[in-house]
Amino acid sequence: MTVKVAGIEFGNNFYDREVDVLYLHVGDPASSVDWEDSEEGDGLSYASDGSLVGITILNARQRLDRDGKIVITVPERQIEASDLDEILAPA
């Protein structure tokens, strides 16, 4: 399943229900060359050209249920993910 967040299509994704962590990536996660944390504590990974290629969202289901969306602050802008019910569906 492809997930689109802030205009970026993340075709490689995995939701770990046990720890409530959503991993989103464009292509192979091994292609990331840089990493930083968002203000919210989520992980952001970047390609060699500086483009955002991965997001690791902590407490994904909890945040979506509580707020109806997940806000992630990326340097210079803020992005929102709200259409994640299907991928975060209970087992």
| pLDDT at site 77 | 53
Residue 90 has pLDDT above 80, yes or no: no
Residue 76 has pLDDT above 90, yes or no: no
Q: Which two tokens stand for residue 32?
A: 């990331």
User: If you search the block for the tokens 């970026």, which residue do you land on?
Assistant: 8
Residue 21 has pLDDT above 60, yes or no: yes
Q: Which of the pair, 10 or 48, is modelled with greater confidence?
A: 10
Cβ atoms within 10 Å, residue 60: 25
Name the residue ranges covered by the structural domains of the chain: 3-81
| pLDDT at site 91 | 61
| pLDDT at site 53 | 93
